[in-house]
């Protein structure tokens, strides 16, 4: 997936490298990340604190080294979406999200359908995560409707629906949302025609 331009807070280059490094790896300490991206500890520490304040990373675990507990960080929901916008691979992110957040099915199926979607629709996902702190089923409905505006083939949409069927709870919620929207659009159509 290529890096796409998105509005909002631009990440400092060091912060971008940290986000992409975390996207490719399991949760890490600041020191381990600094070594992997070939940066010094102090600027990395400052960048980590800034990313934590922005809500892009959080402490998910601790590592014990010589009797001292060191926090390990990984991406939040918003951090995962920003990582995709920065150019991280959805396949690798999906694998890592399944390890770190095994119960977050909405984020997992968004990552699974990600390669089939236009990268621009992830700005909608980013806006939703920024406003609510997480992705909800209505956000996926909005993303899919935005995708339908971008010349998607029926075959591609069938593939997306097949992926969503793997997640029965979210799929049934999506069906309810589309059913409600269909009724609302029918009422709107009647108003327009009269």
Strands (E), the chain: 57-65, 68-75
Is residue 112 located within the same domain as residue 189?
yes
For the chain, percent of residues with pLDDT exceeding 90: 19
Give the CATH number of the domain where residue 57 resides. 1.10.10.10
Is residue 71 located within the same domain as residue 111?
no
For the chain, percent of residues with pLDDT exceeding 70: 95
Cβ-count burial of 26 within 10 angstroms (0-12 exposed, 13-18 middle, 19+ buried)?
middle
Domain carrying residue 26: 13-77
How many structural domains are present in the chain? 2
Cβ-count burial of 159 within 10 angstroms (0-12 exposed, 13-18 middle, 19+ buried)?
middle
pLDDT digits (tens, 9 = 90+) for 20-37: 999 999 899 998 999 999
Is residue 72 located within the same domain as residue 130?
no
Q: Are the beta carbons of 148 and 117 closer than 8 angstroms?
A: no
| pLDDT (average), residues 82-91 | 85
The reply to whether the predicted model has a pTM over 0.85 is: no
Asked if residue 144 belongs to a domain, the reply is: yes
> pLDDT at residue 9 above 60?
no
Is residue 116 located within the same domain as residue 185?
yes
**C-beta pairs of 127-130 under 8 Å, 24+ apart in sequence:** 129/77, 129/78, 129/81, 130/8, 130/78
């Amino acid at each position: 997936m290529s890096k796409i331009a998105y509005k909002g807070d631009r990440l400092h280059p060091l912060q971008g490298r940290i986000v992409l490094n975390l996207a490719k790896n399991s949760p890490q300490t600041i020191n381990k990340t600094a070594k992997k991206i070939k940066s010094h500890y102090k600027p990395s520490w400052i960048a980590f604190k800034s990313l934590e304040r922005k809500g892009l990373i959080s402490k998910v675990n601790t590592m014990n080294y010589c009797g001292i507990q060191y926090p390990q960080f990984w991406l939040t929901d918003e951090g995962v979406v920003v990582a995709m916008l920065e150019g991280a691979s959805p396949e690798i992110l999906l694998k890592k999200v399944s390890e770190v957040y095994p119960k977050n099915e909405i984020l997992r199926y968004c990552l699974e359908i990600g390669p089939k979607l236009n990268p621009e629709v992830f700005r909608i996902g980013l806006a939703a995560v920024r406003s609510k702190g997480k992705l909800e089923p209505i956000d996926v409905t909005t993303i899919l409707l935005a995708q339908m505006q971008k010349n998607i083939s029926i075959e591609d949409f069938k593939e997306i629906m097949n992926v969503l069927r793997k997640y029965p709870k979210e799929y049934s919620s999506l069906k309810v949302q589309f059913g409600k929207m269909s009724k609302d659009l029918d009422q709107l159509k009647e108003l327009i025609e009269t």
